[in-house]
Amino acid sequence: MTNRVDLARRFASLHTPGAPLALANAWDVVSARLVEAAGAPAVATTSAGVAWSLGAPDGDSLARDRALDLVARVAGAVSVPVTADIEGGFGADPAGVGETVAGIVEAGAVGINIEDGTREPAEHAERLAAARAAADAAGVPLYVNARIDTFLFGLGNPAGRLDATLNRAAAYLRAGASGIFVPGCTDPAVIAELTRGIDAPLNVLAGPGAPSVAEFGKLGVARVSLGSWVAEAAYGVVRRAAEELLAEGTYTAVTEALAYGELNALLKG
């Protein structure tokens, strides 16, 4: 347990406004080890990638035990801190979220993402409080990254979306969140307002066309995630390779594949 406490503290310390923690999200042991081998100081899972790899759609459809098993496999395969995306908490109520978080800590993760989606902010705050209580009971200073989906889902009046996001962030921090994740917005002006208005590390979702990690850092961002983009890119190769093979009988889609020996070596020892 001491090691988990140390890992949790190390993970929290990586969230520095202006010098963002860059996370290329993984979804299985091999992708996690590749991320670690690239020099990442932490590994984050993507709920979408995890769900897809286990045959379920993203969005609270995956069974909790299967998610926990995957987290345990990833956490056991790397030496860096692991933070797990637990969607909405894999629980129908705050007590269920608490059970999930107890399982997450037992699995070896030291951080979580938990999203509000279309839930009422007061309800989600209760779920966050339950997550914090469960982590405290386990004796681990879990990094609770509260995801706010106002921009991602286009919730509410666009003119009031920034204020709504800031209000949710304040409520979630009071409930025990460690940081705030606002996906769905990469507009530098809005991001700057978010970093000024949120009294905690801000996490943004990046992808093609978004500002660079350094540019986000200049805006005060503390964490930049790729989310499901890496998994989507991997599956894009699968489709391109299959279509090319069947239509043309050629194989150029796999020319940048990692070597068999390199991948196999990741799982030895």
Q: Which CATH number does the domain housing residue 221 bear?
A: 3.20.20.60
- The DSSP call for residue 193 is H
At position 173, the amino acid (one-letter code) is L
In-domain check, residue 247: no
Q: What is the pLDDT of residues 129-163, one digit of tens each?
A: 999 999 999 999 999 999 999 999 999 899 999 99
The answer to whether residue 259 is domain-embedded is no
Percent of all residues in the chain with a pLDDT value above 70, rounded to a whole number: 99
13-72: per-residue pLDDT in tens? 999 999 999 999 999 999 999 999 999 999 999 999 999 999 999 999 999 999 999 999
- Judge whether 265 lies within some domain: no
pLDDT of residue 269: 62
Largest CA distance in the chain: 59
Please give the backbone phi and psi of residue 145, each rounded to the nearest 5 degrees, phi first: -95, 105
Give the domain extent around 115: 2-227
* Nearest one of 13, 28, 41, 98 to 69, comparing CA atoms: 28
pLDDT for position 204: 98
Q: Which residues contact 196 (CB under 8 A, 6 or more apart)?
A: 220
249 part of a folded domain: no
Does any domain span residue 123?
yes
pTM of the model: 0.96
| Structural domain count of the chain | 1
Distance of CA 228 to the CA centre of its chain: 9
Mean pLDDT throughout 165-172? 98
Assigned domain for 245 exists: no
